[in-house]
Structure formats: C-alpha cells, structure tokens
Structure 1
Amino acid sequence: MRRTAAAAPPHSDRSGHSDRSGHSDRSHHSDRSGDGGGGGLRTEFPFRLPRGYVDEQGTVHRDGVMRLATARDELVPLRDDRVRENSAYLSVVLISRVVTRIGTVDDIHPGVVEDLFASDLAFLQDFYRRINAEGHTRAAVTCPSCQEEFAVDLAGGRLGES
C-alpha cells in the first residue's frame, strides 16, 4: 500500500519504532473514508465480535475497529520470540497489531487477544483475511430454509442498516 504525504497527519511517526512490548506506533490516518467520503482509500473497518471481549471488571466489549495491515505488521511478528517458539502465536501478535479498539479498550496487545473467546479470535482472523486479501467484509451465505444465496456484511451493524 503506497501512502502519500496527505495520508497521515503531520504529527504521525512513520519511523516504525516499536516500544518494548513489540507494538509499533499506531498513528490514526485521516483517510478512513469509504462511506461517502472523498473517495479515498478505506483503511479502517468496524466489526462486532460474536461473543465479546470480557475485561477485568467483567464488562463485555463487542464493537471494534480493525485497520488495514501494512507489510511491517506482517513482518515484525516473525521476529517475535513467542512466534518463533510457537508459529500458532503469529495470529495473536498480528491481530493485536491491527485491531485499534474493542469497545472502550484501545490498548490492544497480545494479552487482550489471548483473552478473547476462541470464536472471537476465529472471527477476527477471518475478518483480517477479508479486508486485507479480498478488500471487503462481505461473505456469501445460503439460507438453510429456502436455499437463496445472498451476501452479509461481517462488520456487523443493526438490522436494516446498509
């Protein structure tokens, strides 16, 4: 993905420096359009977890945002010792890098992803693949009763919203 100077605010850090937890600086770009904006590249996608993340206080968080992955997001986890020891941990680190918020929790790190229910992690893995490889959040489904085929938006939302 090529970014232009207008894609990031002047204060964002493009150096890619990571803090000691392995997170790179996540600057929020102003090119989040795609829903009627100026025709720019859509870089953030809302989602709703099937079960939800339960924080330490017992609050359930379901609505979140995932941003498009960069090449760095896919390369940095490969240097993580946890991933080297267990390749299955790659998805935990990768998801923690691209999810920017779940409910009111905006410090998403591998520990948060580890505490997700398995069904929510599977949802986020599929969501990641859809927005980064296929470019959309729709899935083809078939009605079990009438066998009619149609598309649903995995990002969630309320009934009747488009």
Structure 2
Amino acid sequence: MDEEGNLHKKGTIRLSTAADEILPLRDPKVQANPAYLTVILLSRVITKLGTLEIINTKTIENFFVSDLAYLQDFYTKINETGTTRLKTVCPNCGHQFEFEEEFQGE
C-alpha cells in the first residue's frame, strides 16, 4: 500500500545477480541488523509494482509483514530452487494443493 492508500497487487521481480546478493552486505543497516538484507534485496530486484514510479528501500519497509514474507519466499523459490510452484490451502474447504505461479522471465 502506498502513501495515498492505494493497494498495488501486480508487479515484476527479476532474477537476482551476484551483485544483488553481495553488495548489500556492505550496507551499514545490514551490518547492524542482518534482517534488513531482505529489504535491500527486494528493493533491487522488484522492477515494477503497480503504478509506483520508484521502488526503493522505503517502499519495501512499508510492506505488510505478510506481503514481505510472501515475496521473501517467492524470491527464494525463483533464485535458489528454480521453480515457482507454491503450496497453499483452500480457505473454504482446507484442501492443500500446489499451483504454478505465473512466471514471465522476470
């Protein structure tokens, strides 16, 4: 959700590079709090988010915790496992199933 209260549900995330993983480790915020690495990583690899023109660490800091957790998991899946298959549970009947997340190369 942006500062005006608009909820952005669609975006694009690219595969990470070695620099995306290494350079944030030098950041003083990451050295003081290793959990901040996720914020910097996502700010580097999310290339589009709704109608937002700029995506930076401030953008990521304002994510809801559930959205941050989802994006951390998605980042891991596409960069470490090479798959976008996600496990989920139907909220109505409780049935567990997997589905393939739409993946367009970014």
Name 2:66's counterpart in structure 1: 119
User: Unaligned regions of 5+ residues in structure 1, if any?
Assistant: 1-53, 157-162
Q: When the two structures are superposed, what TM-score results if normalisation uses the length of structure 2?
A: 0.84
Higher strand share: 1
- 1:55 aligned onto 2:13: no
Question: Do the aligned residues in 2 keep the contact of 1:100 with 1:106 (CA within 8 Å)?
Answer: no
User: Unaligned regions of 5+ residues in structure 2, if any?
Assistant: none
Counterpart among 14, 38, 52 of residue 105 in structure 1: 52
Question: Do the aligned residues in 2 keep the contact of 1:83 with 1:90 (CA within 8 Å)?
Answer: yes
Higher helix share: 2
Counterpart among 78, 81, 96 of residue 25 in structure 2: 78
Counterpart among 6, 28, 42 of residue 95 in structure 1: 42
Answer with 1 or 2: which has the greater Rg: 1
Bigger relative contact order (CA 8 A; separation at least 6): 2
What whole-Å deviation, never above 9, does each CA across 1:2-40 have from its counterpart, x for those lacking one? xxxxxxxxxxxxxxxxxxxxxxxxxxxxxxxxxxxxxxx
Judged with a 3 Å threshold, the aligned counterparts in structure 2 of structure 1 residues 58 and 151 are, in CA distance, closer, same or farther, namely same
Structure 2 residue matching 1:139: 3-state secondary structure: strand
Q: Report the RMSD for the aligned CA atoms in angstroms.
A: 2.2
Structure 1 residue matching 2:51: 3-state secondary structure: coil
What whole-Å deviation, never above 9, does each CA across 1:49-78 have from its counterpart, x for those lacking one? xxxxx1122211110110000000000100
Identity of aligned residues (%): 47
- Whole-angstrom CA distance in 1 between matches of 2:48 and 2:94: 37
Q: What is the one-letter code of the residue matched to 2:74? A: F
- Whole-angstrom CA distance in 2 between matches of 1:58 and 1:65: 20
Judged with a 3 Å threshold, the aligned counterparts in structure 2 of structure 1 residues 110 and 150 are, in CA distance, closer, same or farther, namely same
